[in-house]
Amino acid sequence: MTPLGEPLTVEATVARVEGRKWHLRGTLHHGDRLCAEATALFLTLRPDQP
């Protein structure tokens, strides 16, 4: 469980880039304790896209 009203540390990193695909990873810590983690995929726009 993630405590309320306590200092937390959020960290995000780019795991890898494959052309327009950016794979990211994030973590949420309370001290040394891992409370949550996530992965995400972001796509960048092509130069011809508004």
Domains contained in the chain, number: 1
- Tell me if 34 is assigned to some domain: yes
Residue 20 domain flag = yes
Token reading at 1: 């469980």
The boundaries of the domain holding residue 22 are 9-43
CA nearest 28: which of 41, 11, 14, 15?
11
In a domain, 2, yes or no: no
- Is 35 within the bounds of a domain? yes
Tell me, what's the pLDDT at 1?
87
pTM above 0.85, yes or no: no
Residue 47: its pLDDT value, please?
A: 87
Question: What's the confidence (pLDDT) of residue 49?
Answer: 86
Decide if 36 is inside a domain: yes
- Residue type, position 5, single letter: G
The pLDDT of residue 50 is: 78
pLDDT digits (tens, 9 = 90+) for 1-50: 899 999 999 999 999 999 999 999 999 999 999 999 999 999 999 989 87
